[in-house]
Amino acid sequence: MSSKPSLMRIVAAFAAAVLTIAAVTTASLRSLSARRDGSRWVVHTHDVQLAIARVLALATEAETRQRGYLLTGREEDAETFRAAQSALSQEVDVLALLTQDNPRQQQRLLSLRTLLQRRAEALTRAVDLRGQGDRAALDPLESREAIQRMESVRSVVQQMGDEETALLAQRLQRLTRADRWSLGVTLGGAALLLILAGTAALAVRGDLRRREEEASDRARVLEYQERLIAIAGHDLRNPLTAVLVSAQMLLQKREELKPGQANAVERILRSASRIDALAALLIDFTYARLGKGIPMRPGPMDARAVVERHEPQRLGL
C-alpha cells in the first residue's frame, strides 16, 4: 500500500520540477528578449544622436568654409565647402533612415531638409559670385539672412536632439527594468529550484525512513513468527516423547497384545518418530534463521557406515 503513495509523490515531484523548469525557462527567455530589445533601442538612439550631431557639425563646417572662401578667395576653402555640403546631404539621408520609426522626427526632418536646401542654395550662390569676382557676395544683408537660416537649422536640430534625449531616458529605464526582471527571474528560478530540491530531498528522506521502519517491522514480525515456530516445535516434542515412550513400553509387552493392537502401536511409534524428526528439523531451521546456528550434539558414530552411505552418491552411482 505504501509503494503507490510513494510513486504518486515521485510523479508529483517530477511534474513540479518540469513545470518549474519550463516556467523559469520561459520567463528567462522573455527577460532576455526584453533586455535584447532594450539594448538595441538604446544603441539605436545613440546612433540617431550621433547622426544629428554630425549633421550640425557638417552644416557648421560648410558655413565656416564658405565664409573663409568669401574672405580669402582660396580655392581650397571652396573645395572643402563643397565636400562638406556633399557629406551633409548624405548624413541627412542617414538620419532619415534612422528616424523612419518616429513620425515626429520625420516631420522635423522635412523642415530641416527645406532649411538646409535653402541655406545650401544661398551659400553656393555666394561662392559662385565670389568666384566671379563679384563683391555682392559680401553683402551684409545676405550674411544676416545666412545667420538666421543657420539659427533655424540649429533650432530644428536642437528639437530633434531633445526628442532623442527623452527617448534615450525612457529606453534606459526600460532596459534597467529588463535587467532587474532578468536578475529577479534568475534569482527566483534558482530559489524555486533550491526549494524544490529541498522538498524532494525531504520527501525522499521521509520515504526512506518509512521503508526502513516497514522493513524493521517486517523483520520483527518474521523473527516473532520464527520464534513462535521454534517454541511450538519445542513444546510439540514433549507430548511426542510421551507418545513414543508409551508406544515403546507397549511394544515391550508385545506378547500381551493382540496382533492388530501390536501393529497399531508400531504405526503409532513410526508416525510419532517421523513427527519428532520433523519437529527437530523445524527447530534447527528456526535457530539457523535467527542466526544462532544449527545446534550440534557430538556423539559416537560409525564413520565407515557414513562413508559407505555417501560414496555411491559421490561416484554418481
Cα gap 44→47, rounded to integer Å = 5
| In-domain check, residue 239 | yes
Contact 167, 175 (CB under 8 A): no
| In-domain check, residue 159 | yes
Per the structure, the count of domains in the chain is 2
Cα gap 195→191, rounded to integer Å = 6
Contact 250, 257 (CB under 8 A): yes
Which of the residue ranges 110-124, 181-195, 244-258 would you say has the lowest mean pLDDT?
244-258
Residues 39 and 111 in one domain: yes
CATH number for the domain harbouring residue 291: 1.10.287
Q: Which of 177, 207, 237 is the last residue of a domain?
A: 207
Share of the chain above pLDDT 70, in %: 75
User: Is the predicted pLDDT of residue 238 greater than 80, yes or no?
Assistant: no
- pLDDT of 287: 64
Judging by beta carbons within 10 Å of its beta carbon (0-12, 13-18, 19+), is residue 65 exposed, middle or buried? buried
Contact 156, 115 (CB under 8 A): yes
Residues 196 and 292 in one domain: no
Which pLDDT band, with edges at 50, 70 and 90, does 316 fall under? Answer: very low
Four-point Cα dihedral 221, 226, 230, 232, nearest 10: 60
Residues 203 and 219 in one domain: no
Residues 236 and 274 in one domain: yes
User: Is the predicted pLDDT of residue 309 greater than 80, yes or no?
Assistant: no
| In-domain check, residue 184 | yes
Residues 201 and 116 in one domain: yes
- pLDDT of 159: 92
Residues 138 and 280 in one domain: no
Q: Please indicate, yes or no, whether the overall pTM of this predicted structure exceeds 0.75.
A: no
Q: Which of 207, 233, 259 is the last residue of a domain?
A: 207
C-alpha pair distances (Å), 226 with each of 6, 236, 242, 290, 295: 30, 15, 25, 8, 16
Q: Which residue range(s) make up the domain with 198?
A: 3-207
Quick one: cell of 130? 565670389
Which tens digit of pLDDT belongs to each residue from 90-114? Answer: 999 999 999 998 999 999 999 988 8
- pLDDT of 180: 84
User: Is the predicted pLDDT of residue 317 greater than 50, yes or no?
Assistant: no
Q: Where are the alpha helices (DSSP H) in the chain?
A: 3-72, 75-98, 103-131, 140-252, 259-289, 303-314
| In-domain check, residue 304 | no
Residue 276 one-letter amino acid: D
**Most confidently predicted of 53-57, 177-181, 297-301:** 53-57
| In-domain check, residue 307 | no
Which tens digit of pLDDT belongs to each residue from 127-184? Answer: 777 766 655 445 554 567 777 888 888 899 999 999 999 998 998 998 888 888 888 8
CATH number for the domain harbouring residue 13: 1.20.120.1730
**Chain centre distance of CA 97:** 41
User: What mean pLDDT value characterizes the chain?
Assistant: 77
Residues 236 and 197 in one domain: no
Residues 61 and 203 in one domain: yes
Residues 59 and 184 in one domain: yes
